[in-house]
Amino acid sequence: MKKLTIIIPCYNEEEVIRESYRRTKQVMLSLPIPSAIIYINDGSQDKTRFLLNEIADSDPQVKVIHFSRNFGHQPAVTAGINHCTSDFAIIMDADLQDPPELIPQILALQEQEQANVVYCVRKSREGDHFFKRFTARLFYRVMNSMSEIKFPFDTGDFRLIDRKIMNEFGRLKERGKYIRGLISWIGFKQVPFYYKHEARIAGKTKYPFSKMLRFGSNAVLYFSNKPLKLAMSLGFTAVVIGLILATWFTLGKIYGFNKAESGWTSIVSMIVFFGGVQLLTIGVLGQYIGVLFNEIKARPEYIIEEERNFDV
Ligand code: UDP
Ligand code: MG
């Protein structure tokens, strides 16, 4: 019989863990197939660690991985996938924004379509305030116009993946993993499942603007070299403008239609403009060099301090 694992990353989620477990467990008991949970404690500083251990002690179907520090959401999900041995995995957030009650429908859709991935699309985003909704919408549209492969809009990491996907995922060697992008990239049969994204039941988002920015720029840097091409087009445009201006000024000198003394403003603005163009293009280059630097160091994506219930 096939088995399901639910992968849940947690960072400082003491307010939601118990309720999250209660609702997830209730759904698990009603499933037609055996299931387990892997919680990844991503270096929480609050009582998350204690609460997860307590749950694991009372329920052998709950496995827990404790990281040595906070490595981030994507490394936490990666650890969950790497530790999963079952036929299906569902990736979910701890805060119940992705309702566990949808799991039976997701499994049914997988069965019906014989899909390798069921990705959940947010048809409404209850809990998110205007700014998050706006930046997320913008992000997925910009991302799609930049990347060589197309991603479904308005999805998070909430999705079901099967063994085939997990095996291929395990072969991906890059350290800066943009998981929803990589799963799209792997291919096979992927079908959407539409749902209502709920509000967080308690606590606040663990994705402050700085983390969101890092997450977004990582996605762009790993999935697109358009910024590099854009930098080059910018340089090219600057060269063309420079040539036109040089010709214009030279002819002006020869035929006397240009008074050179009056050029102060144009010179200063051009120095600033081209200085800006240069710094910008160097900056773009620098971003990609940063990615190369990180990948070449080849450090592990996460460090595990302790694992619980993996031997049962
Ligand atoms: N999370 C994590 N490590 C982090 C940040 C977040 O494991 O550094 C987890 C968090 O506990 C939650 C999920 O990732 O289960 C999504 O985070 P959150 O709900 O705060 O993000 P939002 O829904 O606001 O985008
Ligand atoms: Mg959330």
Task: State residue 312's pLDDT score.
Answer: 67
Ligand that comes closest to the CA of residue 200: 2
Worst-scoring range by mean pLDDT, 44-48, 62-66, 133-137, 286-290? 133-137
Q: Domain residue spans in the chain?
A: 4-224+300-308, 226-297
As a whole number of angstroms, the distance between CA 250 and CA 37 comes to 74
Question: Left, alpha or beta for 154 (phi > 0: left; psi -120 to 50: alpha)?
Answer: left
CA-CA distances (angstroms) from residue 70 to 2, 135, 303? Answer: 33, 25, 10
Q: What is the pLDDT of residues 230-254, one digit of tens each?
A: 888 888 788 788 778 778 877 877 8
Which tens digits make up the pLDDT trace of 57-108? Answer: 999 999 999 999 999 999 999 999 999 999 999 999 999 999 999 999 999 9
pLDDT of residue 262: 63
3-state class of 291 per DSSP? helix
Helical segments of 59-201, H only: 73-83, 103-113, 130-146, 163-170, 179-186
Q: Are 4 and 107 in contact (CB under 8 A)?
A: yes
For ligand 1, atom 25, name the residue with the nearest CA. 207
Question: What confidence score (pLDDT) does residue 249 get?
Answer: 77
Q: Which comes out higher in pLDDT, residue 83 or 129?
A: 83
Could you give the CA distance from residue 247 to residue 300 in angstroms, rounded to a whole number? 55
pLDDT digits (tens, 9 = 90+) for 257-280: 766 666 666 777 778 778 877 888
The confidence score (pLDDT) of residue 215 equals 87
Give the Cα separation of 72 and 9 in Å (integer).
9
Is there an atom of ligand 1 within 6 Å of 9 CB? yes
What CA–CA distance (Å, rounded) separates 81 from 311?
17
Phi, psi angles (nearest 5°) of residue 305: -90, -40
Q: State if residue 97 touches ligand 1 by the CB under 6 angstroms criterion.
A: yes
* pLDDT range class, residue 295, cuts 50, 70, 90: very high
Which run of H or E residues covers position 233? helix 226-255
Alpha-carbon gap, residue 286 to 279, rounded angstroms: 10
pLDDT at 281: 84
Beta strand spans in the chain (E): 4-10, 35-41, 62-67, 88-91, 117-125, 155-162, 190-197, 304-308
Q: Which of 207, 211, 218 to mutate to test the pocket of ligand 1 (most atoms within 8 A of CB)?
A: 207
pLDDT (tens digit, 9 = 90+) per residue, 165-200? 999 999 999 999 999 999 999 999 999 999 988 888
- On average, the pLDDT of the chain sits at 89
Q: Which residues pair with 304 in a beta bridge?
A: 67
**Ligand that comes closest to the CA of residue 15:** 1
Classified by CATH at the fold level, domain 4-224+300-308 comes out as Spore Coat Polysaccharide Biosynthesis Protein SpsA; Chain A (3.90.550)
CA 15, 20, 21, 23 torsion-angle sign = positive
Q: Which atom of ligand 1 is nearest to the CA of 9?
A: 7
Does the pLDDT value for residue 4 go beyond 90?
A: yes
In this model, does residue 39 exceed pLDDT 90? yes
State if residue 206 touches ligand 1 by the CB under 6 angstroms criterion: yes
Q: Copy the structure tokens of residue 227.
A: 């910024």
**Side chain identity, residue 243:** L
Distance CA 151, CA 155 (A): 9
Residue 284 reports pLDDT greater than 90: no
Residue 261 burial (10 A CB sphere; 0-12, 13-18, 19+): exposed
Least confident of 40-54, 108-122, 253-267: 253-267
The pLDDT, as a whole number, for residue 268 is 72
What crossing angle do the helices spanning 73-83 and 163-170 adopt, rounded to 10°?
120
Confidence of residue 148 (pLDDT cuts 50, 70, 90): confident
Average pLDDT over residues 42-68: 95
Q: What crossing angle do the helices spanning 17-29 and 103-113 adopt, rounded to 10°? A: 50
Which residue has a Cα nearest atom 24 of ligand 1? 205
